[in-house]
Amino acid sequence: MGPNSPHSTRLVIVMVGLPARGKTYIARKVARFLSWLGYRTRVFNIGDYRRARLGSKHRHEFFDPRNAEGNRARSEMAEAALGDLLTWMETGGEVAIYDATNSTHKRRVSVRNRCLDRGLQVVFIESLCEDPAIIEANIRETKLTSPDYAGMDPDEAVADFRARIAHYESVYQPLTDADAEGASYIKLIDVGRVVVVHRLDGYLPAKLLFYLLNLHVVRRPIYLTRHGESTLNQDGRIGGDAPLSPAGTRYAQALAEFVELLDLKPEVFTSTLQRTMQTAAPLCVPATPWRALDEIDAGICDGMTYSEIAAQMPHEFEARQRDKLRYRYPRGESYQDVIARLEPVIIELERQRRPLMVIAHQAVLRALYAYFIDKAPEDVLRMEIPLHTVIQLAPGPYAFVETRHTLV
């Protein structure tokens, strides 16, 4: 069952769209968001099945609808991916994303019926785009790095990919109300310039829509940093609302110089705790404090050291060691609670088109970092986010490229 829903969640998201319309980008982003929120989510990408089973050297002729052999091989791959998807949903999956062109009415009806027969909810997401600049950028950014074109001259690869698109265009039928009788769908036109929503029903589909409304493809870096050292950090005490130590103040200065040199004028968010606001104070740009970015609330342990907690409340200490994600400090929070309150932060960070800097705290930054680098929160809960270090996440085709800058 999904973490925030009272009902059991079993949703299949079926992508629809011509090649190079950002389907895989959207599928991966949605998967990352929902997994981060705690839904068991997986993407089934037909291209991956084709490359794994048939190799990656298919030129455009393979995708020509008049090529009987190609048609047979492609429907086998579509079938294999769908079969695995349905099996996965029967064995504990909560959200599956079927990432394929699903370009004809007939195909979509068949996929939807097979899901409905198994009691699965279906939402189509169609990405339509006729802007040649966006399509060109998409081809150059994502397709040229695909194994399909490894070692090939870039212009030749682009020409081949354009021919592949033309094959799909010759049979493509956009989703219409008639086509999707009773079906739920979200149609994204020109990367969100127009969004059409049809018969969307339920908590998770609504959450999905809200997320999609805020997605864009503008590439901008994200900088994550903890506040400068606080006087409580000096004593190894958790939580609290202490001011910066002299070393922390030096970091705030160094961060201001770093931002000045970047010459990016990022949008800056801090928590409402003074150590983050003091860290942002010397910056040449204003910072917005946000309560959702406050550090994990350690409840009755606030202000203690880890050894004091271990000595005075050994059961609490051990319970947290055992399950750091779900453990909730008495009268405080768990990491899962932190993730839930960070959901609007993620939406806002996605919505922003400018470079971003978040000055926050260790637990909060672990949660945000997990989202941006697409890791399960469990996998980063023990990772150190060092003080006085900026984590730079620069956009790559599908993932961020990370660089760390230690400033003092």
Residues identified as active-site:
99, 129, 227, 295
Site string for ligand F6P, 245-264 (x = CB under 6 A): --------------------
Stretch of residues binding ligand F6P (CB under 6 A), selected from 73-81, 93-101, 206-214, 357-365: 357-365
How far from 63 is each of 57, 164, 326, CA to CA, in Å? 12, 6, 47
How many chain residues touch ligand F6P (CB under 6 A)?
8
Contact flag: residue 362 with ligand F6P (CB under 6 A): yes
Stretch of residues binding ligand F6P (CB under 6 A), selected from 60-68, 123-131, 186-194, 359-367: 359-367
Residue with tokens 């048939």: 54
Q: Which amino acid, 381?
A: L
Contact flag: residue 295 with ligand F6P (CB under 6 A): yes
Residues between 215 and 244 that touch ligand F6P (CB under 6 A): 238-239
Distance of closest approach, residue 305 Cβ to ligand F6P, in angstroms: 9
Q: Residue from 18, 363, 391, 393 that binds ligand F6P (CB under 6 A)?
A: 363
Q: Which CB, 49 or 317, lies closer to ligand F6P?
A: 317
Alpha carbon distance 35, 377 (integer Å)? 9
Stretch of residues binding ligand F6P (CB under 6 A), selected from 1-9, 13-21, 61-69, 291-299: 291-299
Distance of closest approach, residue 136 Cβ to ligand F6P, in angstroms: 45
Q: Which CB, 161 or 329, lies closer to ligand F6P?
A: 329
Distance of closest approach, residue 99 Cβ to ligand F6P, in angstroms: 34
Distance of closest approach, residue 315 Cβ to ligand F6P, in angstroms: 16
Distance of closest approach, residue 259 Cβ to ligand F6P, in angstroms: 22
Residue with tokens 């992508």: 15
Q: Which CB, 82 or 358, lies closer to ligand F6P?
A: 358
Rg of the chain's alpha carbons, rounded to an integer? 24
Contact flag: residue 296 with ligand F6P (CB under 6 A): yes
Q: Residue from 274, 361, 367, 390 that binds ligand F6P (CB under 6 A)?
A: 361
Q: Which amino acid, 294?
A: D
Contact flag: residue 10 with ligand F6P (CB under 6 A): no
Stretch of residues binding ligand F6P (CB under 6 A), selected from 153-161, 163-171, 216-224, 361-369: 361-369
Q: Which CB, 332 or 395, lies closer to ligand F6P?
A: 332
Contact footprint for ligand F6P (CB under 6 A): 238-239, 295-296, 298, 361-363
